Amino acid sequence: MNQKKLMTWGIVAFFLLIVLTMVSSATFVTIDSGERGVLFRRFAGLDKETIYPPGFHVVAPWNTMYVYEVRESQLEEEMEVLSSNGLNIKVDVTARIRPNFGQVALLHETFGRDYMERLIRPEVRSSVRQVIGKFTPEELYSTKRDEVQTLITDELTRTLTNNYIDLRAILIRDIELPDKVRTAIEDKLKAEQSSLQYEYILTREKQEAERRLIEAQAKADANRILAASLSENILRDKGIEATLELAKSPNSKVVVVGNSEGGGLPLILGGGGN
């Protein structure tokens, strides 16, 4: 009898130990900082209304808590795409993203925890191909790189926002063209710079010549006006004024007013000291 009771208690204790082990490992969940939890209720389905914040949570053993990291993460993608004229171009792109905090349950339902491979990578590749396919290699190499980055960002933002992801930034780290294409573009750019420099020199010289011409014309006009204003009477009066001023000087001198023709300027024939 005692042996039977002992066996019964042993079986009960064994099952209690199993239950305790299951409960202790399945019902206490700690969500760390930078994470959010989504609860799947076995008898009610996914709880889309409640997003569990960081902290300690008790979960029934028949339910499952899925923990998502919501810190910013990045995807680095190297790929080959076609330009608008069909040339192969290597592009190195980095996408910085994070799940929308309040929509983690919807992200889990739609894509699961492997959303980076199921959603982010395909969309990044698609957007990069679509945008770069609108530009020539020369534009990508020289003038349009920032515009390409902006267009990819706008395209991805619309797509990822509709799929519960916040796009933080798109960074084009490198655009690599075929060697022959790159060399041809560099030579063309050098030629264009030389042409622009030559045009600048010509423009500068032309402006300097125009400046000198205007300056010379101004001087000629001034001399013509001055010559027209200096009549014989004015010159005679100026000469008389100068003679009178000279006559006031204490120094001895000889002054003759007029010339041999009777109508010229005063003439100073000589002078001496006191």
pLDDT at 246: 64
**pTM for the whole structure:** 0.59
- Average pLDDT value for residue range 236-258: 63
Residue extents of the structural domains in the chain: 2-69, 73-182
Sign, CA torsion 130/136/138/139: negative
pLDDT at 257: 53
203-232: pLDDT as tens digits = 887 888 888 888 888 888 777 776 666 666
pLDDT at 187: 64
What CATH number belongs to 73-182? 3.30.479.30
- Decide: residue 87, CB within 10 A, 0-12 exposed, 13-18 middle, 19+ buried: middle
Phi/psi for 134 (5° steps) reads -90, -5
Q: How far is the C-alpha of 116 from the C-alpha of 69, rounded, in Å?
A: 12
124-138: pLDDT as tens digits = 999 999 998 888 877
Is residue 119 predicted with pLDDT exceeding 90? Answer: yes
Is residue 186 predicted with pLDDT exceeding 80? Answer: no
182 pLDDT band, cuts 50/70/90, is low
pLDDT at 22: 59
269 pLDDT band, cuts 50/70/90, is very low
pLDDT at 16: 74
- Average pLDDT value for residue range 30-47: 92
pLDDT at 266: 52
Q: Identify which has the larger pLDDT, 184 or 82.
A: 82
Across all residues in the chain, what is the average pLDDT?
79
pLDDT at 274: 47
Which residue reads 């239950």 in tokens? 19
Is residue 63 predicted with pLDDT exceeding 70? Answer: yes
Q: Identify which has the larger pLDDT, 76 or 261.
A: 76
Nearest CA-CA partner of 160 in 73, 87, 99, 82: 99
- Average pLDDT value for residue range 34-43: 92
